Chain A
Amino acid sequence: MASNAVTALPNRDALRDPVLLLPLAVAVGLAVGWIGTQQHVAGSRIAADLALSWAVMAASLVVLERPRWRRTRWLLASTPFALLGADLEWVSSHAVWTLGFLLEGLWAALLVQLVVTFPEGRPWSRLARTAVFGAYALTLGGQVVGALVVPDTRDLLAVTSDPSVAHAIDRAQAITGACVALGVLVLVLQRVRALGGPARRAQQPLLLAAAITAVAGLVWLGWVIATDARATTLETIARALAVTMPVGIVVGIGSSRLRRPQASELVVELRSEAAATMQQRLARALGDPTLDVAYRLGDGRYVDAAGRPIKLTQRADRAVTAVTAGGEEIAALVHDPALLDEPALVESVRTTAALVLENERLAAEVRSQLAEVRASRGRIVAAADAERRRIERNLHDGAQQRLVTLSVTLGLAASRADSATAGVLARAQDELEDAIGELRELARGIHPTLLRDEGLTAAVEALARRAPVPVTVQSNAQERLPDQVELAAYFLVSEALTNVVKHASATHASVLLEREPTTLRVTVSDDGVGGARIAPESGLAGLRDRLEALDATLSIASGAGHGTRVSTLFPCGS
């Protein structure tokens, strides 16, 4: 938008173009200054008004480079004419004098609006809106009422010339003015404290200037209220200090421009080891600690550096800038919208960062894929568990049920048969009992009912009771844990105890279940011969997928002659 304004054809409405307003403001200023000299107005007062007018006009041109500050620009461009218009009071013509009288304080109201809506032209708060309203009511409204009563022969609008009425209105104006100045001071101080990052850099100088001017205005009006005198010197000082405001705007824009690093410095900054992550380096380079980087994957999704999915949502307090490489978007920078005021800085970071970000994006993509693989492994394990549960149930409801019925039937037949037949039937029933026992053991190995119903500790205690070597169980894991953790821990204990029985020649084993707030540690140890390791085809190796799907780590310590200790740490929240 700004560049459009600058390159617009000269025959466009000249008054809409601040560049053409500059010579106009200079000409009007010179004219008003000449009139002031003719009318013997104090030189300091003329100098203060011209300095303020021209400085504000110059600031309105500097603001052109900030497209989002359009409203501020127009407030700045109007202020010099309001200020010089008020000086028409120096003219002896009654009509011109009256016009000047009506415009007397308008410039101050414009500056109040400028400050409390800075920089984008929207009031900061309800108090800011009230301050703006108060400022216009005070200056425009107050002068119109004043024009009706002011005891001056040049006043064309006067309906009475009672000096006491005019005096009362003057005092009321001074008191309201002091309230507005105080309100502005409070607002500005709040704003300075709240600002951060790039916005602070660009806006703070104006805010400090506004605070100084507000204090000067308070002193002047306070003096007027207290002494009932005109206090012309204090008024001139306040006007002169107001010059710091346009200066503050220029300084703010200039300092954020100075802060803009060169492309070569940016490369150094973005590759420096001073900051741990790309996000931190970019945040430093752009001076925006809230900056986030979202990497765009091939399928259009966005992830953070760790590969976790991110949703880019439209928010008023965040702005998004795309980083492209080879015409393709590789990342999005999510940042403070104030950075949009420094398009050149963002642009140079964007081009410089593209190369470095491409590497980061590939890393993020790999991390995201890893996370997906882990999630998919988890789903596979969960599906397998569901299938195991179904098979166990079928075994129990089907074959086991029938074999058990058959066994009871055989027992009944034996009780009614002669002794020779009863012997045969008893042997058949014993054989059948063994088969049922094996089937039951098989079903338990597939999916233990007790684990599902009673939890890990009860199921591990049952494993210990059935083991052929003495096993002690110590556990503080009384509450239920996620299904997958319980199953994996159970299978781990079961497998480790099987190994103890098969290989360790141990006289005793122990199982320790330690529940901490975010973890479960499972340790199985024995006093056997040691020297065990996780062979590729062993049962423990077979649990690896299940454990890795849960981010659990398996460790084994087994020095020869020192027993074996298998330990796993499961991450699991409470």
Chain B
Amino acid sequence: MLIVDDHQPFRAVARELLESAGYIVAGEAADAAGALAAVAVHHPDAVLLDVQLPDRDGFAVATELTAADGPAVVLISSRDADDYGRRVAASGARGFIPKSKLSAATVAALLE
């Protein structure tokens, strides 16, 4: 898996959470450019992608990643799904998890 988020402490705890659930975390990225580069190198099965990245809109990155038969994308944000309306569905991502609800179970539910 690849973890994309600009908040380093969050990336650290997310990695630990995923790894303890048996996922292999291939890499981390802090922005959209880093994410696209890491996907090209590691070819992850899934990407945990923050909606608000410093350089680009996370929805646009999700659309780009999923369009080219790429990895499954799970969007995360410290906001609610309700704050984004139809954009989640339109982005091509598997689903959306509010960050505070992030757990092995919620990730697994979207990736199955």
Q: List residues of chain A with CB under 8 Å of any chain B CB.
A: 396-397, 400-405, 407-409, 411-412, 415-416, 432-433, 436, 440, 443-444, 448-450, 453-454, 458-459, 461-462, 465-466
Residues of chain B from 64 to 100 with CB closer than 8 A to chain A in the complex: 78-80, 82-87, 99-100
Residues of chain B from 43 to 78 with CB closer than 8 A to chain A in the complex: 52, 78
Q: How far is the CB of A445 from chain B (nearest CB, A)?
A: 12
With both beta carbons as reference points, the residue of chain B lying nearest to A458 in the complex is identified as: B85
Given A401-B78, A412-B13, A449-B83, 6 new contacts (CB under 8 A): A396-B52, A396-B79, A397-B52, A432-B100, A449-B84, A453-B85
The number of residue pairs between A and B whose CB atoms lie closer than 8 Å in the complex comes to: 73
Query: What separation, in Å, do the CA atoms of A453 and B17 have in the docked complex?
Result: 31
Contacts of A461 in B (CB 8 A): 85
With both beta carbons as reference points, the residue of chain A lying nearest to B21 in the complex is identified as: A415
Contact A401 B84 (CB under 8 A): no
Answer yes or no: B14 CB below 8 A from chain A CBs. Answer: yes
Contact of A404 among B10, B17, B52 (CB under 8 A): B10
Contact A405 B10 (CB under 8 A): yes
Query: What separation, in Å, do the CA atoms of A397 and B13 have in the docked complex?
Result: 17
Contact B86 A405 (CB under 8 A): no
Query: What separation, in Å, do the CA atoms of A404 and B82 have in the docked complex?
Result: 17
Query: What separation, in Å, do the CA atoms of A402 and B20 have in the docked complex?
Result: 22
Main SS at interface, chain A: helix
Contact B16 A433 (CB under 8 A): no
Q: How far is the CB of B111 from chain A (nearest CB, A)?
A: 18
Q: List residues of chain B with CB under 8 Å of any chain A CB.
A: 7, 9-10, 13-14, 16-17, 20, 52, 78-80, 82-87, 99-100, 102-103
Contact A454 B86 (CB under 8 A): yes
Given contacts A405-B13, A407-B100, A412-B20, contact A400 B78 (CB under 8 A): yes
Query: What separation, in Å, do the CA atoms of A433 and B98 have in the docked complex?
Result: 11
Query: What separation, in Å, do the CA atoms of A386 and B35 have in the docked complex?
Result: 31
Given contacts A400-B78, A401-B78, contact A408 B17 (CB under 8 A): yes
Contact B78 A450 (CB under 8 A): no
Contacts of A416 in B (CB 8 A): 20
Contact of A466 among B13, B82, B85, B103 (CB under 8 A): B82
The 9 listed contacts between A and B (C-beta, < 8 Å) are: A407-B99, A408-B13, A408-B100, A412-B13, A436-B78, A444-B83, A449-B79, A450-B85, A454-B85
Contact A450 B13 (CB under 8 A): no
With both beta carbons as reference points, the residue of chain B lying nearest to A448 in the complex is identified as: B83
Contact A411 B17 (CB under 8 A): yes
With both beta carbons as reference points, the residue of chain B lying nearest to A439 in the complex is identified as: B78
Contacts of A402 in B (CB 8 A): 9
Query: What separation, in Å, do the CA atoms of A405 and B9 have in the docked complex?
Result: 7
Contact of B78 among A396, A432, A433, A448 (CB under 8 A): A396
Contact B10 A462 (CB under 8 A): no
Contacts of B103 in A (CB 8 A): 408, 411
Query: What separation, in Å, do the CA atoms of A401 and B54 have in the docked complex?
Result: 14
Contacts of A450 in B (CB 8 A): 82-85
